[in-house]
Chains A and B, each alone.
Chain A
Amino acid sequence: MSIPRRNLSRVLLLVAAAVIAAPSVSAADAQPVATPESRLASRLDAPTRNAVLAEVDSARRAGLPVAPLVDRALEGAGKRALGRAVSDADIVAAVRRLRVALGSAREALGSRADGTELAAGASALQADVPPATLVALGRARSSGSLTVPLSVLTDLVAIGVPADTAARTVIALARAQDAVLLAYQRDVERDIGIGALPAVAASVRAAGLEKITADGLLHSPGVPSSLNAAAGGKPRPPRKP
């Protein structure tokens, strides 16, 4: 087999370029960019779609995330498709309320909040959590994403914990890692499920976690090291034999 040296070099260069370019091309094909217009095109009639797109444009100009607005409109369209009594006006009104809530979340959380944090903040506001609580939570958790704390706060309110109690407990645990907060929420849900009062369950579970995360008890031998690490505490030094 004899391949001219010059041709062999060209062939190898072409093969290398094709191999390197293939993943990016396939990734681009696998993830087409879906615009709000394309997502709404086949789901809403033209007047409703235009009204929703006007809200989307307004949110975009304000620097707010637009995907939650499109999601809300598609939720209304999906429910209507299954026979629910959802009018075009209901869809537009729901999208507008969400845009307003996103704007309020932006004011409360500041310009550093990203799209998921703003969406979680808007959900909290729509669950009747006061904007001041969002501000306090943002101050208490100076680093890290606020998405999970805001979600836990909203979900606690949704399962019956009074808003002020939920706000106090989540702010107290604001420095904990996301896994600890989600475990706390599940524990409260479980307690409520077996008959505990929501406010009591939230307070008792939070008090237990506050003891763990307090510096004085962080290195207690009774606290599992994994929980210490998950609570954001310092790693316990190895025990001497």
Chain B
Amino acid sequence: MTDDAHGYQDSRTTRTRWSVFEPMGQEEVYDDVPEGDGNDSGVGGSGADDTPLDPLLVAVAGELRRPVELGPELDGRVMALVAAEPRPERDVSFAARPGAAGRLAARHGPTSAVARAWRWLSRPRLVQLSPLGGLAFASGLAALLLVALRSGTDTVQATSAPAAAASPVAAAAPVADSVQVIQFVLVAPDARTVALVGDFNDWQADATPMRAAASGRVWSVQVPLSAGRHRYAFVVDDERWVPDPSAPRAPGDDFGTPNSVVTVTERRS
């Protein structure tokens, strides 16, 4: 049902009531105009019932149907006006848009560096890749993933040493199949410095200093060792050569000072 100043249609009764607004303020009402009669005038019609049309109505309809003559310069003026309008920027609706961009614009202003940076980052771009470029990109990603996995594995393995152990063998923690982290411990309450020397550091007293616990009595250090049998000793106060009292002595004391020995297995079993 329509209802405006010019007419209404009651769909319930199939009767149409048309009002034609007259310039003089009068309103004439025409009843019983058939609805949907196929007349494209929309106001009355020359249907099959041969109802005579009001001449005024025909005249008004004819006037309304007459095409408006537009001058050829109108198109030019309209296009000039359109071209003169500024192009709509994305940030016109930037602040009103929900999401990160809108929040950034609301917080920092639509022209702030943060908002502009975000617009630069979030603006979609068309990137063309050749098959070779795509292959290179994919291989680069795969290489990065491989490096990340490898470094992550190394990190986990390198930090898997036990906190404390009573003997070097019991302190073994796997790092790789052939390398394990061994913790060496010496109880030396009166020592000022303690260092570990052995086959693994070319017997250099300054290569592997040991650290004292808070009590100052227990000295320890962790060393990665390859699988096999390693001779070692402690150097206390830079002068005393001390074998490990909790480990077997190494045979073949060629230099008059005993050493200890630690056996590192191929892998933890």
Picked from B129, B252, B266, the residue with its CB within 8 Å of the CB of A123 is: B252
Contact with B along A58-93 (1 / 0, CB 8 A): 000000000010011011111101111110001001
When distances are taken between beta carbons in the complex, the residues of chain B under 8 Å from A78 are 197, 202-205
Given A71-B231, A72-B254, A119-B229, residue A19 in contact with residue B205 (CB < 8 A)? no
Residues of chain A in range 1-49 having any CB-CB distance to chain B below 8 Å: 1, 3, 5-6, 8-9, 12-13, 15-16, 19-20, 22-23, 39, 43
When distances are taken between beta carbons in the complex, the residues of chain B under 8 Å from A159 are 248-249
When distances are taken between beta carbons in the complex, the residues of chain A under 8 Å from B255 are 75-76, 79, 84, 86, 90, 94
Q: Are A5 and B252 in contact (CB under 8 A)?
A: no
- For B140, B167, B227, B255, the residue with the greatest tally of chain A CB atoms inside 10 Å of its CB is B255
Q: Interface residues of A, CB < 8 Å — how many?
A: 62
Give the distance in Å from the alpha carbon of A179 to the alpha carbon of B169 in the complex: 10
Give the distance in Å from the alpha carbon of A12 to the alpha carbon of B136 in the complex: 5
When distances are taken between beta carbons in the complex, the residues of chain A under 8 Å from B251 are 123-124, 126-128, 154, 157-158
Residue ID in chain B nearest A123 by CB atoms = B251
When distances are taken between beta carbons in the complex, the residues of chain A under 8 Å from B107 are none
When distances are taken between beta carbons in the complex, the residues of chain B under 8 Å from A178 are 265-266, 269
B238: interface (CB < 8 Å): yes
Picked from A145, A186, A230, the residue with its CB within 8 Å of the CB of B170 is: A186
Give the distance in Å from the alpha carbon of A202 to the alpha carbon of B199 in the complex: 29
Give the distance in Å from the alpha carbon of A155 to the alpha carbon of B250 in the complex: 8
B241: interface (CB < 8 Å): yes
Given A81-B205, A116-B228, residue A15 in contact with residue B140 (CB < 8 A)? yes
Give the distance in Å from the alpha carbon of A85 to the alpha carbon of B241 in the complex: 13
A177: interface (CB < 8 Å): yes
B137: interface (CB < 8 Å): yes
Picked from B132, B229, B241, the residue with its CB within 8 Å of the CB of A84 is: B241
When distances are taken between beta carbons in the complex, the residues of chain A under 8 Å from B136 are 9, 12-13, 15-16
Give the distance in Å from the alpha carbon of A159 to the alpha carbon of B244 in the complex: 13
Given A97-B252, A178-B265, A179-B269, residue A83 in contact with residue B228 (CB < 8 A)? no
Q: Are B167 and A186 in contact (CB under 8 A)?
A: yes
Give the distance in Å from the alpha carbon of A76 to the alpha carbon of B256 in the complex: 10
A167: interface (CB < 8 Å): no
Contact with A along B201-236 (1 / 0, CB 8 A): 011110000000000000000000001110100010
Residue ID in chain A nearest B151 by CB atoms = A23
B113: interface (CB < 8 Å): no
Given A19-B140, A19-B144, A90-B254, residue A9 in contact with residue B133 (CB < 8 A)? yes
Q: Are A77 and B147 in contact (CB under 8 A)?
A: no
B257: interface (CB < 8 Å): yes
Q: Are A75 and B265 in contact (CB under 8 A)?
A: no
A182: interface (CB < 8 Å): yes
Given A127-B251, A179-B268, residue A147 in contact with residue B227 (CB < 8 A)? yes
When distances are taken between beta carbons in the complex, the residues of chain B under 8 Å from A177 are 269
A133: interface (CB < 8 Å): no
Give the distance in Å from the alpha carbon of A20 to the alpha carbon of B147 in the complex: 8
A98: interface (CB < 8 Å): yes
B125: interface (CB < 8 Å): yes
B160: interface (CB < 8 Å): no
When distances are taken between beta carbons in the complex, the residues of chain A under 8 Å from B261 are 123, 151, 154-155, 158
Q: Are A74 and B133 in contact (CB under 8 A)?
A: no
Residues of chain A in range 114-157 having any CB-CB distance to chain B below 8 Å: 116, 119-120, 123-124, 126-128, 145, 147-148, 151-152, 154-155, 157
Q: List 21 A-B contacts (CB under 8 A).
A: A3-B127, A9-B129, A23-B150, A74-B203, A78-B204, A79-B241, A84-B256, A85-B256, A94-B254, A101-B252, A126-B251, A127-B251, A147-B228, A147-B229, A155-B248, A155-B263, A158-B248, A178-B265, A178-B266, A179-B265, A186-B167
Residues of chain B whose beta carbon lies under 8 Å from any beta carbon of chain A: 125, 127-130, 132-133, 136-137, 139-140, 143-144, 147, 150, 167, 169-170, 197, 199, 202-205, 227-229, 231, 235, 238-239, 241, 248-252, 254-257, 259, 261, 263, 265-266, 268-269
Residues of chain A whose beta carbon lies under 8 Å from any beta carbon of chain B: 1, 3, 5-6, 8-9, 12-13, 15-16, 19-20, 22-23, 39, 43, 68, 71-72, 74-79, 81-86, 90, 93-94, 97-98, 101, 116, 119-120, 123-124, 126-128, 145, 147-148, 151-152, 154-155, 157-159, 177-179, 182, 186, 189, 230
